[in-house]
């Protein structure tokens, strides 16, 4: 597998970036929803700090992934036979997944900092709270909740389309993201 992307397939770095971001995002969506909807208060005390730190790692991976995409001279487009509207939906979905993750990072930070909590940047530096005001924190909290649910739907659709390409269309879309293919 080559390191760089080519027109025919994703290179090792893009494959690594994708699956790292995918695992982190799915983990964060699951823990976030468990914290907010299911688990008792006692579990929140352990899981929220973990969720916040993994959220910061996912933002670092996201920025690195965006920079890497930008430096690649050629990248795989949609597989042969994809119609123009399908290609637009594909590109829009990829952009939506990246923007959704960024929005969750920003709203998560703002929600914590406006509700009187500090945020440790992986133990290297600690951001002090900006305010302890539930009415100000309510806006980023609402964004975190709605974008979180929208991302659950988007990720399910995105993964289902990937599997459909593999099982029904029997094309290279999925195997390309495993670093294989023509």
76 binds ligand HEM (CB under 6 A): yes
110 binds ligand HEM (CB under 6 A): no
Task: Enumerate residues 6+ apart whose C-beta is below 8 A from 104.
Answer: 28, 55, 144, 147, 148, 151
Q: Which of 90, 150, 157, 171 binds ligand HEM (CB under 6 A)?
A: 90
Q: Which of 68, 58, 77, 51 is nearest to 15 (CA)?
A: 68
21 binds ligand HEM (CB under 6 A): yes
Q: How far is the CB of 42 from ligand HEM (least distance, A)?
A: 14
Closer residue to ligand HEM in complex, CB, 88/162: 162
Q: Which of 89, 98, 150, 157 binds ligand HEM (CB under 6 A)?
A: 98
Q: How far is the CB of 136 from ligand HEM (least distance, A)?
A: 15
- Do residues 126 and 120 make contact, with C-beta atoms less than 8 angstroms apart? yes
- Do residues 25 and 155 make contact, with C-beta atoms less than 8 angstroms apart? yes
Beta bridge partners of 119: 127
26 binds ligand HEM (CB under 6 A): yes
116 binds ligand HEM (CB under 6 A): no
28 binds ligand HEM (CB under 6 A): yes
Q: Which helix (H) or strand (E) holds 176?
A: helix 173-176
Kindly write down the DSSP assignment for every residue of 45-113, as one continuous string: HHHHHHHHHHHHHHHHHHHHHHHHHHH-S----SPTT--HHHHHHHHHHHHHHHHHHHHHHHHHHHHHH
Q: Which of 11, 13, 61, 109 binds ligand HEM (CB under 6 A)?
A: 109
Q: Give residues in contact with ligand HEM (CB under 6 A).
A: 14, 18, 21-22, 25-26, 28-29, 32-33, 35-36, 48, 51-52, 55-56, 58-59, 69, 76, 78, 90, 94, 97-98, 101, 104-105, 108-109, 111-112, 119, 144-145, 148, 155, 158-159, 162, 173-174, 176-177
């Amino acid at each position: 597998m080559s390191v760089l992307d080519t027109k025919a397939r994703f290179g090792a770095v893009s494959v690594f970036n994708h699956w790292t971001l995918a695992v982190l995002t799915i983990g964060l969506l699951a823990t976030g929803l468990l914290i907010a909807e299911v688990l008792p208060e006692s579990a929140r005390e352990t899981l929220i700090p973990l969720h916040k730190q993994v959220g910061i790692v996912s933002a670092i991976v996201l920025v690195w992934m965006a920079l890497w995409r930008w430096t690649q001279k050629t990248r795989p487009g949609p597989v042969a036979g994809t119609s123009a509207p399908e290609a637009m939906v594909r590109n829009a979905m990829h952009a939506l997944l990246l923007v959704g993750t960024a929005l969750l990072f920003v709203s998560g930070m703002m929600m914590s900092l406006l509700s009187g909590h500090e945020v440790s940047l992986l133990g290297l530096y600690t951001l002090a709270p900006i305010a302890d005001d539930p009415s100000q924190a309510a806006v980023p909290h609402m964004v975190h909740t709605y974008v979180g649910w929208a991302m659950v739907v988007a990720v399910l659709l995105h993964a289902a389309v990937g599997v459909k390409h593999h099982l029904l269309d029997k094309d290279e879309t999925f195997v390309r993201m495993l670093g294989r293919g023509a």
